[in-house]
Amino acid sequence: DQQVKQNSPSLSVQEGRISILNCDYTNSMFDYFLWYKKYPAEGPTFLISISSIKDKNEDGRFTVFLNKSAKHLSLHIVPSQPGDSAVYFCAASGMNRDDKIIFGKGTRLHILP
C-alpha cells in the first residue's frame, strides 16, 4: 500500500519552460512534505519542503504547492535548466518526531535542449 504516490515515472520538458512534478498521498496524518533530487550514482539531496500549515513554499526557481483537501502536492521548476535533469522523490512524514519518512517511487525529469 503506497502512501506516497508519484504516478509519472518520467517527464520531459523543454529547457526554459516550467516543469511540474506531481505527488499524491493517502495518509491524512502526514504533516510535512519534502522533495529530494537525485543524480545517478549519488544519494538524494534535499531540495525543498513544506509544512501542512502552508499551501506554498518558494525557493528561487523551485516552488512547492500543497493542496491538503486533495492530498496532493506539486513541485514547480521555472525556468527549467539542463542541470535539473534528475530523479525527483516526493517524501512525507507525520507530526511526531518518530514518524517515518515515506518516499515515493520518484519521477525522472529530462530537460530537453
Partner 1 sequence: EAGVVQSPRYKIIEKKQPVAFWCNPISGHNTLYWYLQNLGQGPELLIRYENEEAVDDSQLPKDRFSAERLKGVDSTLKIQPAELGDSAVYLCASSLGTGGKGANVLTFGAGSRLTVL
Residues within the interface to partner 1 (CB under 8 A): 4, 9, 32, 34, 36, 41-46, 49, 51, 89, 91, 93, 97-98, 100-101, 103-106
Residue whose CB is less far from partner 1, 22 or 79: 22
CB-based burial label for 7 (10 Å; 0-12, 13-18, 19+): exposed
DSSP 4-42: EE---SEEEEETTS-EEEEEEE--TT--EEEEEEE-TTS
CB of 75 to partner 1, least distance (A): 15
Q: What is the DSSP letter of 69?
A: T
C-beta separation of 11 from 23 below 8 A = no
With vertex at residue 14, the alpha carbon angle to CA 11 and CA 20, rounded to the nearest 5 degrees, is: 45
CB of 32 to partner 1, least distance (A): 5
Residue whose CB is less far from partner 1, 13 or 48: 48
Residue whose CB is less far from partner 1, 76 or 105: 105
CB of 43 to partner 1, least distance (A): 3
CB of 101 to partner 1, least distance (A): 6
Residue whose CB is less far from partner 1, 32 or 65: 32
